[in-house]
Amino acid sequence: MAKKPKPKTRKNNLWIISIGAVALIGAVWFGLHSSKPSEDDDKVLPLIATLSPELYSGKARSAYQAAKEIPEVLVHLPCFCGCKDGLDHKNNLYCFADTHGSICDMCQSIALDAQEMHRKGMPTSEIRDRIVATYGSLHGD
C-alpha cells in the first residue's frame, strides 16, 4: 500500500501567518493615512482681524468674542451657511471679520460650539470633524 503524502501544514501555516501580517500592516497603514485631515490642518493659515465683540450683544457678541479668543481654531473650520460662495469667506473666522457673523445664527453656532470643544481640550482636527458632521448634514453636505 502506498504511503499518503503528509499535508504541508507547516508551510501552509507560514503562508497564512504571512498573509495575516501583510493584511494587518496594510490595515494599520490605511488607518493612519485614511483619517484624511483637512488640507488646511497642516498649513499655517493667516489669522485675519475680526470685528470687536463690543459692537454686538447677546449670541453675536459671544461669537465675536470666540473669534477673538480662538482664531487659530476657527480658521480651520468651514462654514455651511453659503457665505463661502456669497461673501467669499474662506473659513468660519472670515464670518467675524465683517458684519455677517452678527446676523448669521449658523456662523455664530459654529464658533460657539468650537469654543466649547476647545475649552474641553479637544484638538482642532476633532473639532473640525464634529463641526462638519453637525452642520454639514444641516446643509446637505
The ranges assigned to domains in the chain are: 53-139
pLDDT band for 27, please (50, 70, 90 cuts): very low
Residue with cell 458684519: 99
pLDDT above 70 (res 49):
yes
Task: Work out the pLDDT band at 86, boundaries 50, 70, 90.
Answer: confident
Report percent pLDDT > 90 for the chain.
52
- Entry pTM: 0.67
Q: Mean pLDDT over all residues of the chain?
A: 79
| Rounded Cα distance, 50 and 47, in Å | 9
Predicted local confidence at residue 12, as pLDDT: 64
Q: Confidence class of residue 34 from pLDDT cuts 50, 70 and 90?
A: very low
* CA–CA dist 62, 11 (Å, integer): 67
In the three-class reduction of DSSP (H, G, I as helix; E, B as strand; rest coil), residue 115 is classed as helix
